[in-house]
Structure formats: structure tokens, C-alpha cells
């Protein structure tokens, strides 16, 4: 008789645990209790780390744990459900690290029969894990060690099931100990931030190749089908989607958009408009590098996604011939505007190099831009500056050759600059000139540097950077709401102030961040993408509210929205209401905070880099703006009060954990004396 | 005359067709159980939808020793009769497109049946990478236009028009 240990729909039902030290492979059933509280993906990963990894375990020690997980909706036809979450303690920041990628790897893992993969220990020799349904093997990867992501992926596809093999790999930069290595799925899909690839490489694990032939069942098929149809209709009928810019150009559309709104970080955040933005725009990429035959030039999608935000391109001739791959906005801005480089070929090339070396393109771009600024301001010692100065490669903004060379040097840790560069901007500058230098020239919060959006010009994003659980980052929240001008009524009803849908204002921003942060935690955990809940705002109740404030509202039956609560309920069979969904989101945010408090994160760490608070923007639509310090402190007070965190220390209060049913977490924090008053 | 037309130039590789197909036929989500499959070639940035071409002179029909495969007169779809099928795998090996699949759990071979003339995969394709065309003249006309377009493009690129036209083209 088969004993059913787990009876929720949507899930594959078990977690695959691999101990690389002992070679032991275990398949553990998911527990009902854990998925009810944390759903899956990001939420479940945080729980695994909290329960099984004492705070004294170092990120790159053999006892650290690396999780790659999917959610209950991954691979079930719902729109944007090709996500996979990677979590571990970050070697870059020393706190909770996690990164998320859109790919085909996650769904494949579920078809193979596993909701997640938990890796512990360290292999004696370079290895990779091969998963084909029930068969899980740890195989030697000696010939792959040192190879780029591209070669590794192709070799493993050849060795296993061809194009149907999905590969997650880390690159040679991570192998050499660069602190911000990424895990790259299916050649170009990166779980880039916070150094998850470095953790993978530290375990002597080069790759995980997966093929699955199983099937997934949902709890209420008919209802599920209807909800999913509604979700797809929501996106396909969303005005922004229909406008077609994003469809046509992918996320690179943000180059033009950000520049026009005045938040495109330029020359290491000195400015927020780039005079050569047109040269590195999405249109330019499409015209120069996309495959010409297609009406959706180069557009490629993750599993079950109508949005196809990846853009594939190739360079056929010139100094960067042979470059190929998928681009997106962050990488273009990191090597483009942030480094002041206007040649899109060089930007594309540097981006793809970083990808092949398996290093986070955002951090790499920021690192190089920081070096450039230091050098321009005479803060690099003559010896260091001379390292790269020969042959016209002076480290100055706009010098593309120096930029490309620096990517190689950082990846290979060549020379002093290369060695410093591999530490990431915060650690590198602290080493160079102490914390003061790092505070002045880096955009780092909690050790991780800022993505391509200037907080001075967008207050909601700015606030997010300060409180995000993995360091300066927008994806914990992604309040694009403030970038789209919506009817005042919608902003007022949602967040209590019409200012919430303006870039400049502070009003309603804390409420907006709280809402988005909880929703983001949920969507990361169920396995869907940011594009539905932020960017397109197709989730309930926003399409409904928009309709309400339309001059001529459409009949209710024509309004489609993604009802995450219905969606999860129909797939899994759990009873989840709209309110309960947000409660789960709050719980996940709380758990990540709990993990971080164990690593010493306090109120002093929830801050903005000095530049954003002290130096007003010199030009552009947001000229003269900075993030007001007083406003920031009062926003933080308000945020802490709503979250139930101690105002002075930032520690979680007991009552909040009681309210969210997190008894086990409370007990541990209590024991470690980490509860707020 | 019904036919699915696969177009790798329009396909973005989202594979919604696969999951929609498996759900419609099996009430399960599984690319492995889908009658239509998309081959993602990441290094070239290309996605190739594949499935049954509903051949006029169908290899699967010709090799079936028990005549379990027939043409549905309504849709012209090539259909497997599960009651007759003996599972000899001849059709699977004979099909040049890899469109006959094997369901291990049920022990049967299966293939695209055009959903009786209302294919589910097409409803889920956002870009037109898979289209259902009932009028073959339309297919031909589209093909001719496409071929001409290719020739024009390649003249613009300086290559030989004849060479480009000879390569043919999808709809």
C-alpha cells in the first residue's frame, strides 16, 4: 500500500536532500504544516535555513546549506510560473542571501518529482548532480571545473538528454572565490545576486542537470483552469502590456524609461540621467543584435510566460564578435550608464562575459564603476591605477576597453585590482580606505550594492533598498506603482495617499512598501514572477480599482485580475483568503528578519548610502532631489511600528511572532536573546 | 482539412501549449504527456515547436500492423484507436517528427488528435508560433509570401535571392 504523506495539489511532494560530503541522497516528503505556513520557494527555503543552520556556520564552510526551490504553482501553466529560488547564507553580505531566476529549470525539477533541492556538505572533488526522475547521481566534473557556464551547460546537455536537459551551473569566477558568484540556469538565466553561485562552488559542485518526465496534479482542476485563464487574460488585456513596448524590447525598455523619468544611475550614481541612453537602449539592441527574421525580435520566454522579457542577440563581427546571449535591463545599466559606456557592443560583451564567468552582472558593473570614480577622484593609489593604465586602458568613466578588461581581471583575480574587485564594492573599499571610503563611494546597504534605480528620484524604491532583507535591492518589494501614474483614487484607496503613485512624494510610501513586500514574499514563494504583481498590476484588486476610477467603467465580467489567493487555493486545495495570503507574506518577511537578526542586523543597518541622503541629484527631471534624512527616519519608525519591530534596535517583538503563529521561531530567538522590547 | 502549423520564428519557448495540451487530455500538467513539444535551443536563442503534421501519406498509418491508426474524416487528423493498439512502437519509430509519444503509466501510444478540430494549444499561443489552419490554400499562400519576404530580405543583405528562397520558410 502506498502511504500518502502529503496530499496537497500542485506540489511534487518531496524535497531532495544531497549531502556532498557523504554522498548520501535522501528524498524527504514535504510536511503539510510547513507549506501551510510558508507555501514553498523563498518562504520554505528561509525556514529550512533557520531550522537547520546555526548562526555561527560560515557561508563558505562545508556545513552551510544551499537550497534551490520551486513553489506550488511552478510548472502548472499559470502565467509567469517558471521561477526558481536559491537561498543560502550570503558570502558577500554575511547575512541571509537569496536570489530568484526565471527559467525552465525549476519546472523541470518538479516534473522530475522534487519541489526543492537542499545541498549540504562539500564534495571531495569537483562534481555535479544529475537528476533524471527517480535517479539521482553525484558524478565527477573534473573536466568541467574551470570551464565557463556556456561550455559547462552545453557539455552536460550533450552528456545527458540533449536540449531537454536543464542545467544550473556556477562559473569559474565563483570557483576562484569571487564573493558574488551567480547560479546560472539554462545558459543565461541568472539567480545573480548575493553570491549564491559562490556557495555552490564552495561545495565543489559545478552544476545540477535535470530532466523530468513526471506530471503534476492540481486539487481542483476546473476551478484552477478558470483562475489561470483569468490570469492570462489579465496580462494580455493590461493596457501597459497591450501598448507593446515591453513585449517588443523586453526589460531593456527601462533604459529609455528610467532616463526619461530621471532615475537611471549614471557614472556610479553621480547622476541619474545618461546623455547617451539612446545608444544603449532596447531599440538599439533590437536593431543591432536581434535575430532579424522574427516579428518578436529575439523575444524569449520563461516557462508559461506571455511576457517574453528576455532578449536574445548575437554580435557577428568586430572586436566583440562571437558574443551571444539574453540581455535584460540590469546588466545593460550596470555596464552601460553606471560605467558611462555608450557602446552597446561593449556593454553586451561585458554582460555576457560576466554571465559566462558566473558573476553577478549588477555587482560587477557597480564594482567597475566604483573603481572608475575612485580613480577619477584620485583615490586609487598610483600603483593600483597603473596596473591597468597601460595601453589606453585608463580606468575612467566611458572607457569601454578598461571595463571589459576589468571583467576579466576580477573574474580571474588578476593583480591587486582584480583581487579587490572580487570582494564586491563594499568590502573592497573598506579594505582600501576603511568604512568611511566605502560609505562615500559605494551604493551598498548591508554589504550589497544598489541596482539600477536612483533612490533620490524614486522614494519608494529608495526606502525598499534600506529595508530589503538581502541588502540593497528592489525585488524584495518592487514598488513600480510609483513609476506609473495611476488615478489618484486608486493610490488613495490602496495606500492612503495620492502621492504613492508619484516618484517624488513620500506620502503613502511606507504603506506601499509594506503591501508590495508581503505580496513579493508570497509570489516568490508560490513561484510566480514580479511582472504580474508589480509592473503590470494585474493582481486583484488593482484592475478592479482601475476600472472603478475609469471615466466609463467596463462591465465587471470584462475585468480580469490575477487572484493569487484563489489560484493557490485551487492548485493546492488549501483554503487561502486574500487576507491570509498577506499574513503568509508577513510571516516570510518576519522569518527573514529573524534570520538576519541572528547575523547581527539591527536598525543601524537599515539605512541608505550616504550619497543618496547627502548629495542632491545634479541634473535631470529629479534635479536637486535627495532622500530627506528626517523623512527617512520617520518612515523607518512607521515601518517598524507596522511590522512590530523594536523602534530602537530593529529586533522583532514577541507579540508579532505570536500573532503570526511562529512559536518555534519565537522560542529560538528568545533563547538567543534576540527579541525586541 | 485541418493542420497545425508550427513556426519557430514566432515561438518564444514559453511552452504553454505543452501544458495546455497535457491538461486537456490528461488533466495533468506534464510536458512529457503533451502531444506538442517545444525544443528550446538556448545557445541559438531559438525555440522549435514540434508535433504531428497530419501527413497525407502517414508513416505511422503505413507501418501499423493492426490498422489502429486512421484518418478522421471530419478533421483529417490522424488518430490512434487505443482499443486496437498493441503497443508495438512501430509508429513511434517511423514518425519523422517524433510526434508519437508513449505513456508509460497507461501503457499506450498517443499523438495529436487536433482536439477534434478545436486545438487547445492554439488557444494558449500568444505569438502565433502554433496556428491551426483548416484551409490549405491559406497555408500555401502564406508560405509563398513568406518565401518572397525572405528573398527580399536577403537581397537587402546582399546575398543571393535564389539561395534564400531555396531554403524555404515557415508560415
Chain-chain contact of B32 with A324 (C-beta, under 8 angstroms): no
Mean pLDDT of A269-281: 94
pLDDT digits (tens, 9 = 90+) for A487-501: 899 999 999 999 999
Q: How many CA atoms lie within 13 A of A239 on its CB side?
A: 8
pLDDT digits (tens, 9 = 90+) for A58-78: 999 999 999 999 999 999 999
pLDDT of B164 above 70: no
% of residues, chain A, pLDDT over 70: 98
Q: Nearest C-alpha of chain B: how many angstroms from A160?
A: 15
Residue A222 belongs to some domain of the structure: no
Q: How confident is the model at residue A18 (pLDDT cuts 50, 70, 90)?
A: very high
Cell of A506: 513620500
The CA distance from A103 to A99, in Å, is 13
CATH number reported for the structural domain that contains residue A327 in this entry = 1.10.569.10
Chain-chain contact of B45 with A213 (C-beta, under 8 angstroms): no
Comparison of pLDDT for B107 and A307, the residue scoring more? A307
* Amino acid A76: pLDDT: 95
Q: Is A543 on the interface with B (CB under 8 A)?
A: no
C-alpha R_g of chain B: 17
Q: Is A294 on the interface with B (CB under 8 A)?
A: yes
Chain-chain contact of A306 with B9 (C-beta, under 8 angstroms): no
Residue A226 belongs to some domain of the structure: no
**Could you give the angle at the alpha carbon of A543 between the alpha carbons of A540 and A549, nearest 5°?**
130
pLDDT digits (tens, 9 = 90+) for A162-218: 999 999 999 999 999 999 999 999 999 999 999 999 999 999 999 999 999 999 999
Whole-Å CA distances, B67 to A444, A626, B84, B99, B107: 70, 77, 8, 18, 18
Residues A432 and A341 in one domain: yes
pLDDT digits (tens, 9 = 90+) for A529-548: 988 887 788 888 999 999 99
ipTM (interface predicted TM): 0.92
CATH number reported for the structural domain that contains residue A140 in this entry = 3.60.9.10
Number of domains within chain A = 3
What residues make up the domain containing A628? Answer: 459-539+577-676
Q: How confident is the model at residue B87 (pLDDT cuts 50, 70, 90)?
A: confident
Residues A58 and A206 in one domain: yes
Least confidently predicted of A57-66, A140-149, A236-245, A665-674? A236-245
Taking CA atoms, what residue in A is nearest to B7? A294
**Residue B13 CB partners (closer than 8 Å, separation 6+):** A300, A301, B38, B40, B47
Cβ proximity of A410 and A178 under 8 Å: yes
Cβ proximity of A303 and A288 under 8 Å: no
> Which residue matches cell numbers 497507461?
B106
Q: How many CB pairs under 8 A join A and B?
A: 97
Cα torsion A298, A301, A302, A307 to 10°: value is 130
Q: Is A150 on the interface with B (CB under 8 A)?
A: yes
β-pairing, A135-140 vs A127-132, is antiparallel
pLDDT of A405 above 60: yes
Q: Is B9 on the interface with A (CB under 8 A)?
A: yes
Chain-chain contact of A300 with B45 (C-beta, under 8 angstroms): yes
Q: Is B34 on the interface with A (CB under 8 A)?
A: no
Angle at which helices A578-598 and A564-572 cross, to 10°: 90
Chain-chain contact of B9 with A212 (C-beta, under 8 angstroms): no
Q: Is B108 on the interface with A (CB under 8 A)?
A: no
Chain-chain contact of A294 with B32 (C-beta, under 8 angstroms): no
Pick from A227-241, A553-567, A659-673 the range whose average pLDDT is largest: A659-673
Residue A218 belongs to some domain of the structure: no
Q: Write the residue in B33, B45, B126 that is nearest to A306 by C-beta.
A: B126
* Amino acid A175: pLDDT: 96
% of residues, chain A, pLDDT over 90: 82
What is the DSSP annotation of A246-300?
A: HHHHGGGHHHHHHHHHT---BTTTTBS--TTGGGGSHHHHHHHHS-TT-SSTTEE
Comparison of pLDDT for A396 and A298, the residue scoring more? A396
Q: How confident is the model at residue B102 (pLDDT cuts 50, 70, 90)?
A: confident
* Amino acid B167: pLDDT: 45
Residue A344 belongs to some domain of the structure: yes
Pick from A287-291, A381-385, A607-611 the range whose average pLDDT is largest: A607-611
Residue A241 belongs to some domain of the structure: no
pLDDT of B150 above 90: no
Residues A470 and A369 in one domain: no
Q: Which of A211, A232, A249 is the last residue of a domain?
A: A211
Q: Coil, strand or helix: which one is A85?
A: strand
Q: Write the residue in A188, A218, A303 that is nearest to B42 by C-beta.
A: A188
Residue A447 belongs to some domain of the structure: no
pLDDT of A332 above 70: yes
Residue A399 belongs to some domain of the structure: yes
Contacts 24+ apart (CB under 8 A), B153-157: B153/A292, B153/A293
Comparison of pLDDT for A382 and A210, the residue scoring more? A210
Q: Domain B3-134's class?
A: alpha beta
**Residue A207 CB partners (closer than 8 Å, separation 6+):** A128, A129, A141, A144, A152, A153, A156, A167, A168, A169, A170
CATH 3.30.70.20 domain span(s) along chain B: 3-134
Amino acid at each position: 500500500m502506498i502511504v500518502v504523506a502529503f496530499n496537497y495539489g500542485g506540489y511534487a511532494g518531496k524535497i531532495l536532500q544531497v549531502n556532498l560530503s557523504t554522498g548520501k541522497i535522501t528524498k524527504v516528503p514535504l510536511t503539510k504544516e510547513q507549506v501551510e505556513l510558508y507555501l514553498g520557494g523563498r518562504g520554505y527555503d528561509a525556514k529550512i535555513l533557520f531550522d537547520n543552520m546555526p548562526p555561527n556556520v560560515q557561508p563558505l564552510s562545508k556545513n552551510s546549506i544551499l537550497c534551490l526551490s520551486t513553489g506550488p504553482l511552478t510548472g502548472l501553466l499559470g502565467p509567469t510560473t517558471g521561477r526558481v529560488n536559491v537561498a543560502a547564507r550570503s558570502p558577500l553580505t554575511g547575512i541571509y542571501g537569496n536570489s530568484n531566476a526565471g527559467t525552465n529549470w525549476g519546472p523541470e525539477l518538479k516534473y522530475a518529482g522534487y519541489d526543492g533541492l537542499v545541498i549540504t556538505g562539500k564534495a571531495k572533488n569537483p562534481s555535479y548532480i544529475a537528476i533524471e526522475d527517480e535517479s539521482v547521481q553525484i558524478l565527477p566534473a573534473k573536466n568541467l571545473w574551470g570551464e565557463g557556464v556556456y561550455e559547462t551547460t552545453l557539455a552536460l546537455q550533450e552528456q545527458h538528454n540533449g536540449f531537454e536537459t536543464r542545467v544550473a551551473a556556477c562559473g569559474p569566477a565563483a570557483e576562484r572565490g569571487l564573493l558574488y558568484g551567480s547560479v546560472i540556469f539554462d545558459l543565461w538565466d541568472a539567480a545573480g545576486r548575493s553570491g549564491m553561485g559562490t556557495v555552490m562552488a564552495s561545495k565543489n559542485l559545478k552544476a545540477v542537470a535535470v530532466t523530468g518526465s513526471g506530471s503534476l496534479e492540481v486539487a481542483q482542476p476546473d476551478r484552477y483552469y478558470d483562475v489561470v485563464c483569468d490570469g492570462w487574460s489579465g496580462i494580455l488585456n493590461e493596457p501597459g502590456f497591450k501598448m507593446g513596448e515591453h513585449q517588443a524590447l523586453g526589460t531593456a525598455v527601462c533604459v529609455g524609461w528610467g532616463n526619461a523619468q530621471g532615475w537611471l544611475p549614471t557614472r556610479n550614481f553621480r547622476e541619474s540621467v545618461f546623455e547617451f541612453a539612446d545608444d544603449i537602449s532596447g531599440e538599439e539592441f533590437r536593431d543591432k543584435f536581434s535575430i532579424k527574421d522574427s516579428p518578436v525580435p529575439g523575444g524569449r520566454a520563461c516557462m508559461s510566460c506571455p511576457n517574453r522579457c528576455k532578449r536574445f542577440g548575437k554580435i557577428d563581427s568586430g572586436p566583440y564578435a562571437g558574443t551571444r546571449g539574453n540581455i535584460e535591463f540590469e546588466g545593460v545599466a550596470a555596464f552601460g550608464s553606471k560605467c558611462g559606456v555608450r557602446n552597446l557592443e561593449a556593454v553586451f560583451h561585458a554582460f555576457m562575459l560576466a554571465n559566462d564567468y558566473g558573476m553577478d552582472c549588477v555587482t560587477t558593473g557597480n564594482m567597475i564603476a566604483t573603481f572608475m570614480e575612485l580613480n577619477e577622484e584620485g583615490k586609487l593609489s598610483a600603483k593600483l591605477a597603473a596596473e591597468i593604465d597601460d595601453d589606453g586602458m585608463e580606468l575612467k568613466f566611458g572607457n569601454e576597453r578598461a571595463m571589459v578588461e576589468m571583467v576579466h581581471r576580477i573574474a580571474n583575480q588578476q593583480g591587486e585590482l582584480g583581487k579587490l574587485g572580487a570582494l564586491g564594492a563594499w568590502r573592497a573599499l573598506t579594505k582600501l580606505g576603511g568604512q568611511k571610503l566605502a560609505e562615500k563611494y559605494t551604493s551598498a546597504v548591508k554589504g550589497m550594492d544598489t541596482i539600477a534605480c536612483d533612490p533620490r528620484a524614486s522614494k519608494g524604491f529608495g526606502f525598499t533598498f534600506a529595508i530589503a532583507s538581502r541588502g540593497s535591492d528592489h525585488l524584495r518589494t518592487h514598488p513600480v506603482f510609483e513609476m506609473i501614474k495611476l488615478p489618484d483614487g486608486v493610490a488613495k484607496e490602496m495606500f492612503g495617499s495620492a502621492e504613492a503613485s508619484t516618484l517624488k512624494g513620500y506620502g503613502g510610501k511606507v504603506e506601499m512598501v509594506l503591501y508590495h513586500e508581503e505580496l513579493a514574499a508570497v509570489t516568490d514563494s508560490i513561484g510566480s514572477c514580479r511582472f504580474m504583481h508589480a509592473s503590470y498590476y494585474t493582481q486583484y484588486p488593482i484592475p478592479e480599482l482601475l476600472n472603478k476610477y475609469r471615466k466609463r467603467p467596463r462591465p465587471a465580467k470584462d475585468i480580469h485580475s490575477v487572484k493569487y489567493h484563489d489560484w493557490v487555493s485551487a492548485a493546492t486545495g488549501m483554503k487561502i483568503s486574500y487576507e491570509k495570503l498577506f499574513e503568509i507574506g508577513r510571516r516570510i518577511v518576519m522569518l527573514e528578519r529573524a534570520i538576519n537578526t541572528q547575523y547581527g542586523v539591527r536598525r543601524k543597518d537599515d539605512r541608505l548610502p550616504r550619497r543618496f541622503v547627502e548629495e542632491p541629484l545634479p541634473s535631470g527631471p529629479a534635479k536637486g532631489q535627495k532622500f530627506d534624512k528626517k523623512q527617512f527616519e520617520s518612515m523607518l519608525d512607521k515601518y517598524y511600528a507596522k511590522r512590530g519591530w523594536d523602534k530602537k534596535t530593529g529586533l522583532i517583538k514577541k507579540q508579532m511572532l505570536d500573532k503570526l503563529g511562529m512559536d518555534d521561531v519565537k522560542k529560538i530567538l528568545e533563547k538567543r536573546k534576540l527579541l525586541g522590547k | 482539412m485541418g493542420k497545425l502549423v508550427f513556426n519557430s520564428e514566432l515561438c518564444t519557448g514559453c511552452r504553454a501549449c505543452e501544458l495546455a495540451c497535457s491538461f486537456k487530455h490528461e488533466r495533468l500538467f506534464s510536458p512529457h504527456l503533451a502531444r506538442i513539444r517545444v525544443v528550446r535551443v538556448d545557445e541559438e536563442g531559438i525555440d522549435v515547436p514540434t508535433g504531428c503534421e497530419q501527413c497525407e501519406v502517414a508513416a505511422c498509418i503505413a507501418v501499423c500492423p493492426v490498422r489502429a491508426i486512421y484518418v478522421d474524416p471530419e478533421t483529417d487528423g490522424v488518430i490512434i484507436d487505443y482499443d486496437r493498439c498493441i503497443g508495438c512502437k512501430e509508429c513511434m519509430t517511423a514518425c519523422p517528427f517524433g510526434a508519437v509519444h508513449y505513456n508509460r503509466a497507461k501503457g499506450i501510444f498517443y499523438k495529436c488528435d487536433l482536439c477534434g478540430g478545436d486545438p487547445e494549444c492554439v488557444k494558449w499561443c500568444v505569438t502565433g508560433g502554433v496556428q491551426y489552419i483548416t484551409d490549405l490554400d491559406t497555408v500555401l499562400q502564406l508560405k509563398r509570401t513568406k518565401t518572397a519576404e525572405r528573398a527580399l530580405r536577403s537581397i537587402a543583405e546582399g546575398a543571393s535571392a535564389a539561395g534564400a528562397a531555396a531554403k524555404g520558410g515557415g508560415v
